Amino acid sequence: MQTPAELAALHKQTFNAAPKLYAAPGRVNLIGEHTDYSGGFVMPAAIDFSTLIAISPRTDGHFFAHSVNFNEHIDKPISELLTVRAKSWSDYPAGVLWALREKSIDVSAGFSLTIVGNVPLGAGLSSSASVEVATAFAVLGTLGIDMPLSEIALLCQRAENAFVGANVGIMDQFVICCGKQDNAVMIDTRFLTYTLAPIPPDVRIVICNSMVKHTLADGGGYNTRRAEIEAGLHILQQHRPEIVALRDATLDDLARWGSEMSEQSLRRCRHVITEDDRVLAAVLAFQSKDLTRFGELMHQAHLSFRDDFEASCPEIDILVNLANKQTGCYGARLTGGGFGGCTVNLVAADHAAAFTKAMHVGYLNATGITAEIYTSRASAGAHAISV
């Protein structure tokens, strides 16, 4: 991908204007899946793949965005852009402009954007949220508006929910705003507070891309799962009205009233309730540097994601099973929304190279697919870049 200086030069050449530059990372989630729209806990980290945006203001009311990755551009009056979805990459930056305008921020003068990124697409590493947050930082920076990070995260989530049409939670946008180098971020999604969990220096986050594409746009399995959870929640609330979200419910509640739910709702709710407990235990394990315990919790989380949430797929299960056989691997699980994408693996640093090699060979032999495998450190959240 282009360096920031190359991107600035490209932007200048296209628009004849000196840009400002912004970067936003992707993310990987260590543990805590599908808990972020039930007021629960998650533990993601920003990764060192990112979206870079060069931006300059316009005066003609147009939004001109050039995607280097897709080698495409859109050029539309803002008013037109914000009424119809294009069902393409441009919906993510457009959705953010839509959400800014909804917050009564004046975006009518228009902007020129050059966008490039290396977050793998459709891999469950939040390439979409990365583009959203980079766009929000870029537009707010250009307008000179200082907005709290949690508000930027909420704004980008709103763009994805209401404009793109994926009913996602807050995790991705939040960690992309608040990530910190060499730290995982334990987020309490009810209160939007977070604590940093330093990643021990002798461990690596290895991400294995199954190459089975996962997509959240238009919802698909994601929205169905969410609806199943809401149906289950509704039943619990009839008995215990003080339950505002599944975070407030217990396994005991499920034992008493789960029989009134569909089998699917019961399983989805059980996943969420047990996953919240696992995240809290995982934070303690990390704090006491007990990586073996952390890895066990990752494993339990995967089984719950696979069996109760039913959002894994055969290729991902092959990756997890292979990882569990490798020396130095503490834990492995499907990360992100599910239905394909990547596994996240916590691996002892001195075994990371051998682990990567064994995963390549084993996965190719089992599936005929060449996995992409990335070793990432936890990285910083979105920021301006000076060139």
Please select the residue that binds ligand GLA; options are 8, 168, 279, 342, rule is CB under 6 A: 168
CA distance 346 to 232: 33
Please select the residue that binds ligand GLA; options are 8, 23, 24, 33, rule is CB under 6 A: 33
Interaction of residue 341 with ligand GLA, rule CB under 6 A: no
Please select the residue that binds ligand GLA; options are 96, 131, 133, 171, rule is CB under 6 A: 171
Which residues are the active-site residues?
172
Nearer to ligand GLA, 33 or 91 (CB): 33
> Contact at 8 Å (CB) between 125 and 131?
no
Neighbours of 79 (CB within 10 A): 11
Interaction of residue 100 with ligand GLA, rule CB under 6 A: no
Residue showing tokens 């309730």: 273
Tokens of 204: 């690596």
Tokens of 298: 């990752």
Q: How far is the CB of 129 from ligand GLA (least distance, A)?
A: 6
Interaction of residue 311 with ligand GLA, rule CB under 6 A: no
Please select the residue that binds ligand GLA; options are 19, 30, 31, 36, rule is CB under 6 A: 36
Interaction of residue 337 with ligand GLA, rule CB under 6 A: yes
Please select the residue that binds ligand GLA; options are 336, 340, 362, 381, rule is CB under 6 A: 336
Interaction of residue 172 with ligand GLA, rule CB under 6 A: yes
Backbone angles phi, psi at 146, to 5 degrees: -100, 110
* CA angle at 30 for the pair 348 and 265, rounded to the nearest 5°: 140
# residues contacting ligand GLA (CB under 6 A): 9
CA distance 13 to 8: 9
Q: How far is the CB of 319 from ligand GLA (least distance, A)?
A: 18
Q: How far is the CB of 334 from ligand GLA (least distance, A)?
A: 10
Neighbours of 4 (CB within 10 A): 17
Q: How far is the CB of 135 from ligand GLA (least distance, A)?
A: 16
> Contact at 8 Å (CB) between 30 and 332?
no
Q: How far is the CB of 360 from ligand GLA (least distance, A)?
A: 25
The two beta strands, 62-67 and 110-117, are parallel
Per-residue binding string, ligand GLA, 258-297, x by CB under 6 A, is ----------------------------------------
CA distance 361 to 344: 18
> Contact at 8 Å (CB) between 263 and 231?
no
Q: Which residues bind ligand GLA (CB under 6 A)?
A: 33-34, 36, 168-169, 171-172, 336-337
